[in-house]
Structure 1
Amino acid sequence: MAERRTSSPRAHARADRARGRGAKAPTGGRAARTGDRRGDLGPHLVATRPERTTLLGRRLEQNPLITARDVKPSHPDLEVVSVFNAATAQVDGQTVLLMRVAERPRTDIDPPDNAQTLDLDGPHPVLRPLPRGYSKHDVIGMCYLDTERDPARVVVAYIPKNLPGLDLRDPRSIRYRNSTGVLRMINDGYTDYLAQISHLRVARSDDGIAFKVDEMPALSPQIDMEEYGVEDPRATFVDGRWHITYVSVSRWGITTSLATTKDFRSFERRGILFLPDHKDVVIFPEKVAGRYVALTRPMPQSFARIFGIWIAFSDDLVTWGGHETVCLPRWERWDELRTGASAVPFRTKQGWLELYHGVNRHHRYAMGAVLLDGTDPRKVLARSPEPILAPGTAYERLGLFNDTIFSCGVVPLDRERIRMYYGAADSVVAAADFSVNEILGSLEEYRHA
């Protein structure tokens, strides 16, 4: 998923240095689409600081573990584009993945006689009949949840590629320079629409390597705030059940929602937790100082537009407050452009260990780690000076979004090793094993200002 580029990256370093402070007790109580990975798709190398060539992750030789070919489309009119970014759990002796599945209208057939298109010139898109004569080569398909229908259902529309003002350079989205005057004041006159719609699908494995994928979605878009789908889940076991945070995407913004389950077979939706634009919300697996804790990632659209990891606290897992920055981008480092929480944090003797994703100026997504204080997780103790895993294989470097490793969860293998499942190039599910001690030993002490 893609995020708008931030301006003035040097502000990241200034803000990160200003962030340092001593420990204290917790207090307090898209059709428009902001992308998560829009940018050039070229080689992603940090220009100013060389990185170590020996990374800590040991990729599974069976990678990729799950591809689009392993997933049945949710509807005959759709095709699966990619499967990636899976929440992880261990239930009844099995490894369970709750994966993001991206679908689009089928590209192997011509539009049907009753095909529809979207009039994109107004403040909101309007369905119109597609004129006859267009072939599959002349259009790009898109789909979204139409909540004005009863019941709501996914609608397929075809946009002519020769439409003036259309920008199709990013295969995941449709950008259109809107002719409505008021909208030309925003984003250089462009409005972004997703070409795909996502749902969440369960896969189960007895050995953590060979997975069987459910035939039907576990969580599908249902409401207007999920118009373009549900994405990038994280699963935390707390209070006797799994709490799943996931991203809901619509014209009204990117929000974070909550669902709960005990078995990953039936789910209860709990609604929206964080307002637009907000994502990468990861709940801690236990209370700290009597309160629930979550890492969050607001996406401000004013001033420096710094996208980094924040922290928040709650008494009920619904209302969150006490928001503070924790782990911001660092200029001229591997995570200089943006940071976001990835896996659910877990306790070590040294503190809370969080595996997070970082993005450099060339929009390469890699994984690192940050160590948070065990009693006050707002305090950063240490952080990865270089990635613990960066794109290097063909399936990580080439795909729907090149040069991307993006994790949403880990599972323990034993008392010392973990397995990190990750989305590779926004296209497939892969995994790598790590030694927790090696990760901790690789961290650089955080120097507070």
Structure 2
Amino acid sequence: MKVSVTRKSVKFMPDSSRVVARYFVNGEERAKELIGRILAMSNVEVYNTLEQINREFARRHRNLSALFHRHYTKIKHVLKHMGVSEANLSEEVKMLIGAYFTMEYSIESAAFFNPSIVEDFDQSGLEKGEKRVVLSFRATGEGHVSSIVFRRGILDKDNNLRMMRIGDSIDKAEVLHKMMYNKKRILSKLAEMHTLDIYSSIMVDLPEIFEYSVFKNLLKKELENPNISKEKEEAYEEVLWLLNSFYDIQFKHDSDISERVIFPISEAESRGIEDARFVRFFDDDGTESMIGTYTAYNGHSILSKLVTTEDFYTFRVMPLYGDGSMGKGMAMFPKKIKGKYAMLGRGDGVNNYLMYSLKPNEWKNPQIIQRPKYAWEYTQIGNCGSPLWTEQGWLVITHGVGAMRRYCIGASLFDLDDPSKEIGRLAEPLLAPLEEEREGYVPNVVYSCGSIIHNNSLILPYAVSDYCSTYAVVDMVELLEALLSSKK
């Protein structure tokens, strides 16, 4: 049974004018030379240079002086190595130093893709049949560094999407690192990644619950030891890398949601935050939150991470644990099943897996629930976002990769009480790249990170060849009939 898909004309395109100001340093020796030139400037030269920078960039960034001060704080350790007393520097000189260690980065100049959509917390003030939604996107700029950005819009009774105006600036969050850690859990995560005993030996003197500052002081002391082995030095740095993967971020309340960007923060995600899958989660006690999963990439390895928020201003970020969290494409169910959290994943890169857990960030014992079955998904099958509850079963939008690494979008249905049981599965793709959708950053790809049901229709945002994004609408009656009849 063929399911008709209505593609909408809305396009979400990359926009090179969307920039953030990043800290930038190109080695300590060059930093010393640069600071030396700044310190040699007269007071008039400092003032005039700073005024020119403010004229050119103040309208492009919120609170530019505070930004320069932050970047000055990051580089001021070089002053000590130069024998320069910070007390002798004027505020203008400090700001100018910060400015010289700042660069603009266009967060979405290369691509704007892999969207997910969730119902907004606030559904007030709407007409009958309307729904306020929040979309997230993977925004990619120079060097393929990815971040998470948001847009807000309203779906009307005819499933047309009216987007809210995009804000003028971009707000990077204030970062608050977690202060207390459980040694047993940190060692457990390190054991998943390695088999060396060195990680246990370097943490042996730490208490079971230890402070971040305690480990930092231990690290500093050990690294100052001229006889430290290369292996031990790398191990210390890797533990710190893991600890820095836990943090909270806070956006200012005077920023619009379209102005908030979750930009790579920890070393684990220094080369990008990829493919966030958000879902509106309903806990057993009636509380609601937005839970997202994403892949952190540092240029060499990946780390699956969990991000939660209750207001899109404050986000908690933490790494996922367990053998089920080692791959990409984690997607949380919107509610617990028989008292446990449930998650989809693709740990081996080929098959669809299901996991249960008492904790939202610990995932073990994955079981395969889907293998490639049809020619268009022979290379791999995975989810395209969190499962959607329907009376007939859990609707899972899937992606399949076939010959020439063409990505298509499919659909499957699973039992509500036991989602390891497949009820139905489309033999043909629900969505395949049209001729005009084949060209882009990565050709021949349609891909989604999350959809919703609205007015008995599937609202399916999707990326077009990893370049831009749009959305499609599918009649739910027709889709469910096709899925239920596929097993007959």
What is the TM-score when the length of structure 1 is the normalising length? Answer: 0.62
Aligned to 2:313: 265
Q: Equivalents in 2 of 1:210, 1:437: separation in Å? A: 27
Report the residue type matching 2:481 in the other structure: G
Aligned to 1:242: 290
Q: Equivalents in 1 of 2:376, 2:473: separation in Å? A: 21
Among 53, 67, 73, which residue is 2:13 paired with? 67
Aligned-partner SS, 1:206: strand
Q: Deviations over 1:300-353 (max 9, x none)?
A: 6xxxxxx111111111212222310111112x5221111111122112222111
1:102 aligned onto 2:136: no
Shift of 1:273: 4.1
Among 392, 405, 409, which residue is 2:434 paired with? 392
Distance 1:73 1:55, change over 3 A: farther
Q: Equivalents in 1 of 2:152, 2:138: separation in Å? A: 14
Q: Deviations over 1:123-182 (max 9, x none)?
A: xxxxxxxxxxxxxxxxxxxxxxxxxxxxxxxxxxxxxxxxxxxxxxxxxxxxxxxxxxxx
The structure whose Rg is larger is 2
Shift of 1:219: 1.4
1:318 aligned onto 2:361: yes
1:210 aligned onto 2:163: yes
Report the residue type matching 2:357 in the other structure: S
RMSD of Structure 2 on Structure 1 (CA) = 2.3
Spell out the pairing of 1:140-159 with structure 2 (5 A cutoff): none
Q: Deviations over 1:334-389 (max 9, x none)?
A: 21111111122112222111001111122111111111111111111111100111
Q: Deviations over 1:391-446 (max 9, x none)?
A: 1152x2111011111011112221x1121111111011100001112112223767
Aligned to 2:412: 370
Deviates more, 1:419-428 or 1:89-98: 89-98
Report the residue type matching 1:244 in the other structure: G
The answer as to whether partners of 1:86 and 1:421 remain within 8 angstroms in 2 is: yes
Distance 1:357 1:212, change over 3 A: farther
Distance 1:257 1:212, change over 3 A: farther
Spell out the pairing of 1:204-353 with structure 2 (5 A cutoff): 204-207=152-155, 208-213=161-166, 215-216=170-171, 217-238=260-281, 239=283, 240-273=288-321, 277-299=326-348, 307-330=350-373, 332-353=374-395
Q: Specify every segment of 5 or more residues in structure 1 that has no aligned partner in the other structure, as ranges.
A: 1-51, 105-194, 301-306
Residue identity (%): 25
Aligned to 1:436: 476
Q: Equivalents in 1 of 2:359, 2:274: separation in Å? A: 24
Q: Give 1 or 2: higher helix fraction.
A: 2
What is the TM-score when the length of structure 2 is the normalising length? Answer: 0.57
Q: Equivalents in 1 of 2:322, 2:446: separation in Å? A: 25
Aligned-partner SS, 2:20: coil
Report the residue type matching 1:362 in the other structure: M
Aligned-partner SS, 1:322: coil
Shift of 1:274: 5.7
Aligned to 2:402: 360
Aligned to 2:459: 419
Aligned to 2:63: none
Larger RCO of the pair (alpha carbons < 8 Å, separation 6+): 1
Q: Equivalents in 1 of 2:17, 2:321: separation in Å? A: 29
Q: Deviations over 1:29-59 (max 9, x none)?
A: xxxxxxxxxxxxxxxxxxxxxxx9x652211
Among 451, 456, 472, which residue is 1:410 paired with? 451
Aligned to 2:74: none
Q: Equivalents in 2 of 1:220, 1:376: separation in Å? A: 37
Distance 1:220 1:273, change over 3 A: farther
Report the residue type matching 2:4 in the other structure: L
Q: Give 1 or 2: higher strand fraction.
A: 1
Shift of 1:209: 3.7
Q: Equivalents in 1 of 2:20, 2:360: separation in Å? A: 31
Q: Equivalents in 1 of 2:150, 2:435: separation in Å? A: 26
Distance 1:224 1:393, change over 3 A: same
Shift of 1:244: 0.9
Report the residue type matching 1:250 in the other structure: N
Shift of 1:277: 4.5
Q: Specify every segment of 5 or more residues in structure 2 that has no aligned partner in the other structure, as ranges.
A: 22-102, 124-131, 156-160, 172-259
Shift of 1:272: 3.2
Q: Equivalents in 2 of 1:325, 1:299: separation in Å? A: 10
Q: Equivalents in 2 of 1:346, 1:370: separation in Å? A: 11
Q: Equivalents in 2 of 1:249, 1:212: separation in Å? A: 31
Aligned-partner SS, 1:440: helix
Aligned-partner SS, 1:225: helix
Distance 1:274 1:423, change over 3 A: farther
The answer as to whether partners of 2:320 and 2:363 remain within 8 angstroms in 1 is: no
Report the residue type matching 2:18 in the other structure: K
